[in-house]
């Protein structure tokens, strides 16, 4: 569903619309790229972007007007909870929190839950309760009756204190005297409740004014003595409920069926329903999400927490705020709690940073905000109990987080897993720690891994051909690049090994020969086991790939590189050199299972981790191209790919028939590739883009493009990319584009409806 985005509550942004909160690979972007995406999507000024980045939206000049004895302003990490689909609307949820993994866990839950249609919420009117404590009553029952008889006057007096709220349709609309036994030495007292519709505000001040305004009138009516006059944070007239329904199959893991996982989650929730010790932790996890979002959105998170915990004890015993059950093949989850939130007043008006974040959240009303926070709380809890019921909480998110920290400090692909694991082992997943470990790794020769140090985990990137495909067959140069999307391999102890387990490929199009493909992967595994003398080893090899096979993304080469690197590490065959020609030859041997006579370009590119100039030779040329800074790109998966060998033969046949015509095209591609090498090496992305368009035209004239690929390139041109072309052998498959960094995520979002899949990538970011 589309929504209009408004800035600072009133200024309408020119035509900007957020179509989805699903932004694949957001975590892989640099902070600058993420900010560029926000700036583009929400029309933020440079100053606002800088305020978000530096956390200095709130200046000390503001702070002194907010609290007493101000000495400074405190910062906290700020992130975005992604993937939230709530009542059919897409939300990016700003979250401010110091605890690692909370934002990743919320985003992961929202991603899973959107597969079942997202969250549904219900909220009640924004009714707060004000309390007036009345003591020293001779006849409390009679006093209560007299209060009810004077209801109209009490309401009128209370509303005189808040005329603007009344103008907006709010104000006190009812009263409820409650007789409470104060116990020995106190006797009975009355808590007079004022029920106050606070409209779009959180309402604490308005309620407190109303309570104070009726104090003396209440004393006159009851003959008693008024003590406290203050709101109640048990805002149980201001409830929010969020629910989801998720088919259990989405919960299945490699070890457990979806039904088993769902059942374990129901058991986990039951634990928190019947045991207060567990309930406290369970609900703490819920408030991890709610409070992080509440804080970023300028809400009184202490009030929200107090209300939530009090409500959790409403039946006389403190218990879980959530319930879970399985019915008709679905896992159901529900949360119900008071949510006292506002979109006007308080920090939402006083804090410039909160105003920006409110805009990003897309929330328009206080009820919407309450529903969203309830969904965030439920999502956070879903992730926590899912992880606790399966892999455990530490493993669940730490690994992901640790990898992204390692990547963010520029660790080369082959070291990312080692560094991530070391950080987890030390319990310190931090940039400084990653840098320190990386420094040590670089200084020391690599430690040999013991066999019992399984699992061995490896990541190999994918690749794209940037320039020169087909011309390379005729000994012109080509340029290809490793991309930050790839394949993870895990070698683990397996008593039934050696074997190749559960290949988890991303499949987008039906691949008629997929069975064959999987068999080729298995064949490569057994070839590799033989190559390293591991035919009798008790190991299982598992992969998880982001690279769609058959799309020219180097799926098979990434697989071969990961396999050879993993088995070498397992056998303690280590190399200090980045480029290792033995490893290259071993990879090539596996590649020949997939491609007959591979050129080596894919393997070399992936092993280099960078941008590579290539010529078949002899002599073969592999020259790294150093880019001054990474370039941003997108890959659009357009249609099923064709077999490289067939396309190569098609060009060969056409060349036999129209020798001069085809040779001229091949030569033009060759010349253009030389220019492209210079453009990439000098960081000239505009020129590189122009050459890409030209390269596509030439490939089309060569006869290897298709209508769908041409249309995709035209569409990308219309969207203002710097350059686009088919990539790989053609005849179908994918189109790549170089884009301005600030365009990248908006394009992924805007084009996701046009293509089977759109993936962001960075060039020159991996080395």
State the residues that interact with ligand MEV by CB under 6 A.
Answer: 99, 281-282, 284-285, 288, 384-385, 388, 393
Closest by CA to 201, choosing from 93, 75, 22, 340, is 340
CB atoms within 10 A of CB 55: 15
State yes or no: is 108 an active-site residue. Answer: no
For residue 433, the minimal CB distance to ligand MEV (Å) is 20
Residues 6 or more apart in contact with residue 630 via CB below 8 angstroms: 762, 763, 764, 765
Q: What are phi and psi of 115, to 5 degrees?
A: -65, -25
Q: What are phi and psi of 6, to 5 degrees?
A: -110, 145
Contact call for residues 321 and 337 (beta carbons, < 8 A): yes
State yes or no: is 267 an active-site residue. Answer: no
Residues 6 or more apart in contact with residue 382 via CB below 8 angstroms: 109, 112, 113, 244, 265, 333
Dist. CA 608–CA 767, nearest whole Å: 8
Kindly tell me the sign of the dihedral angle through the C-alpha atoms of 682, 688, 694, 698: positive
State yes or no: is 99 an active-site residue. Answer: yes
- Give the bridge partners for 91, in sequence order: 84
Kindly tell me the sign of the dihedral angle through the C-alpha atoms of 422, 424, 425, 431: positive
Contact call for residues 429 and 405 (beta carbons, < 8 A): yes
Q: How far is CA 600 from the centre of its chain?
A: 35
For residue 22, the minimal CB distance to ligand MEV (Å) is 24
Contact call for residues 194 and 210 (beta carbons, < 8 A): yes
User: Based on CB atoms, which residue is closest to ligand MEV, 381 or 605?
Assistant: 381
Query: Which of these is catalytic: 62, 188, 284, 589?
Result: 284
CB atoms within 10 A of CB 740: 18
HEC-encoded secondary structure of 20-43? CCCCCCHHHCCHHHHHHHHHHHHC
Residue 491 vs residues 401, 457, 501, 566: alpha-carbon distances, Å: 21, 6, 10, 7
3-state SS, residue 195:
strand
Residue 647 vs residues 473, 552, 615, 755: alpha-carbon distances, Å: 11, 13, 19, 23
Query: Which of these is catalytic: 17, 32, 47, 99?
Result: 99
Fill in the DSSP letter of residue 250: G
Kindly tell me the sign of the dihedral angle through the C-alpha atoms of 726, 623, 582, 504: negative
3-state SS, residue 191:
strand
The order of strands in the sheet holding 239-247 is 120-123, 239-247, 330-338, 322-327
Cis peptide preceding 498, ω within 30 of 0: yes
Closest by CA to 229, choosing from 165, 161, 182, 181, is 161
For residue 561, the minimal CB distance to ligand MEV (Å) is 36
User: Based on CB atoms, which residue is closest to ligand MEV, 261 or 358?
Assistant: 261
Query: Which of these is catalytic: 40, 193, 351, 397?
Result: 397
User: Based on CB atoms, which residue is closest to ligand MEV, 326 or 393?
Assistant: 393
Residue 569 vs residues 487, 526, 558, 581, 760: alpha-carbon distances, Å: 17, 17, 16, 16, 30
Contact call for residues 59 and 73 (beta carbons, < 8 A): yes
Kindly tell me the sign of the dihedral angle through the C-alpha atoms of 401, 766, 491, 453: negative
For residue 284, the minimal CB distance to ligand MEV (Å) is 6
E strands in 561-659: 611-615, 621-625, 631-639
SS3 content of the chain, % helix, strand, coil (to 5): 45, 25, 30
Dist. CA 684–CA 128, nearest whole Å: 59
User: Based on CB atoms, which residue is closest to ligand MEV, 285 or 338?
Assistant: 285
State yes or no: is 332 an active-site residue. Answer: no
User: Based on CB atoms, which residue is closest to ligand MEV, 385 or 558?
Assistant: 385
Give the residue ranges of DSSP H helices in 275-362: 276-296, 301-312, 347-350, 352-361
Dist. CA 546–CA 104, nearest whole Å: 18
User: Based on CB atoms, which residue is closest to ligand MEV, 264 or 595?
Assistant: 264
Query: Which of these is catalytic: 40, 108, 241, 300?
Result: 300
State which residue has the least CB distance to ligand MEV.
285
Largest CA distance in the chain: 112
Active site residues: 99, 284, 300, 397
């Amino acid at each position: 569903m589309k929504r209009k985005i408004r800035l600072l509550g009133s200024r309408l942004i020119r035509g900007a619309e957020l179509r989805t909160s699903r932004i694949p690979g957001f975590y892989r972007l640099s902070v600058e790229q993420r900010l560029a995406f926000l700036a583009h999507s929400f029309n933020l000024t440079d100053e606002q972007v800088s305020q978000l980045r530096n956390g200095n939206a709130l200046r000390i000049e503001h702070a002194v007007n907010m609290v007493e004895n101000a000495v400074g302003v405190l910062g906290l990490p700020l992130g975005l909870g992604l993937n939230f689909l709530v009542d059919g609307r897409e939300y990016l949820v700003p979250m401010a929190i110091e605890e690692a993994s909370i934002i990743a866990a919320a985003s992961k839950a929202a991603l899973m839950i959107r597969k079942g249609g997202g969250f549904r919420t219900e909220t009640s009117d924004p009714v707060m309760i004000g309390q007036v404590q009345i003591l020293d009553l001779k006849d409390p029952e009679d006093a209560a009756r007299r209060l009810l008889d004077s209801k109209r006057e009490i309401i009128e007096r209370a509303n005189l204190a808040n005329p603007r709220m009344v103008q907006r349709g709010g104000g006190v609309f009812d009263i409820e005297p409650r007789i409470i036994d104060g116990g020995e030495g106190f006797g009975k007292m009355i808590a007079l409740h004022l029920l106050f519709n606070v409209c779009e505000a959180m309402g604490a001040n308005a309620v407190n004014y109303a309570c104070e305004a009726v104090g003396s009138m209440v004393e006159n009516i009851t003959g008693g003595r008024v003590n406290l006059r203050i709101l109640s944070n048990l805002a149980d007239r201001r409830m929010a409920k969020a629910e989801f329904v998720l088919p259990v199959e989405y919960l299945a893991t490699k070890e457990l069926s979806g039904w088993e996982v769902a059942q374990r989650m129901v058991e986990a929730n039951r634990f928190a329903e019947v045991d207060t010790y567990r309930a406290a932790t369970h609900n703490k996890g819920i408030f991890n999400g709610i409070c992080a979002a509440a804080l970023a959105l300028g809400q009184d998170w202490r009030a929200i927490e107090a209300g939530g915990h009090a409500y959790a004890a409403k039946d006389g015993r403190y218990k879980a705020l959530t319930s879970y059950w399985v019915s008709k093949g679905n896992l159901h989850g529900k949360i119900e709690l008071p949510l006292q939130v506002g979109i006007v007043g308080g920090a939402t008006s006083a804090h410039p940073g909160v105003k920006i974040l409110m805009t990003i959240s897309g929330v328009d009303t206080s009820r919407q905000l309450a529903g969203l926070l309830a969904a965030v709380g439920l999502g956070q809890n879903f992730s926590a109990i899912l992880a606790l019921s399966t892999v455990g909480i530490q493993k669940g998110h730490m690994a992901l987080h640790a990898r992204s920290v390692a990547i963010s400090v520029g660790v080369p692909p082959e070291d990312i897993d080692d560094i991530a694991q070391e950080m987890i082992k030390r319990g310190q997943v931090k940039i400084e720690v990653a840098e320190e470990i990386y420094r040590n790794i670089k200084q020391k020769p690599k430690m040999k891994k013991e066999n019992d140090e399984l699992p061995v985990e490896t990541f190999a990137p994918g690749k794209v051909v940037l320039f020169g495909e087909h011309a390379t067959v005729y000994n012109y140069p080509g340029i290809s690049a490793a991309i930050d999307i790839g394949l993870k391999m895990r070698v683990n102890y397996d008593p039934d090994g050696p074997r190749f387990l559960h290949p988890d490929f991303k499949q987008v199009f039906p691949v008629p020969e997929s069975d064959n493909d999987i068999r080729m992967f298995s064949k490569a595994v057994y070839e590799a086991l033989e190559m390293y003398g591991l035919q009798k080893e008790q190991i299982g090899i598992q992969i998880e790939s982001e690279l769609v096979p058959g799309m020219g993304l180097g799926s098979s080469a990434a697989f071969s590189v990961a396999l050879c690197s993993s088995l070498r590490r397992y056998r303690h065959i280590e190399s200090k050199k980045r480029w290792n020609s033995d490893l290259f030859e071993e990879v090539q041997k596996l590649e020949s299972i997939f491609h007959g006579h591979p050129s080596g370009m894919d393997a070399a590119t992936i092993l280099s981790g960078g941008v590579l100039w290539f010529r078949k030779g002899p002599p073969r040329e592999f020259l790294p191209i150093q880019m001054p800074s990474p370039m941003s790109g997108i890959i659009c998966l357009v249609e099923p790919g064709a077999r490289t060998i067939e396309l190569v033969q098609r060009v060969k046949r056409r060349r036999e028939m129209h020798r001069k015509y085809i040779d001229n095209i091949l030569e033009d591609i060759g010349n253009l590739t030389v220019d492209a090498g210079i453009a990439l090496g000098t960081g000239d992305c505009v020129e590189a883009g122009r050459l890409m368009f030209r390269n596509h035209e030439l490939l089309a004239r060569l006869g290897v493009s298709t209508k769908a690929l041409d249309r995709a390139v035209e569409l990308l041109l219309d969207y203002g990319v710097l350059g686009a072309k088919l990539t790989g052998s053609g005849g179908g498959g994918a189109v790549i584009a170089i884009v301005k960094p600030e365009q990248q995520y908006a394009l992924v979002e805007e084009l996701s409806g046009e293509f089977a899949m759109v993936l962001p990538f960075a060039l020159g970011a991996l080395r």
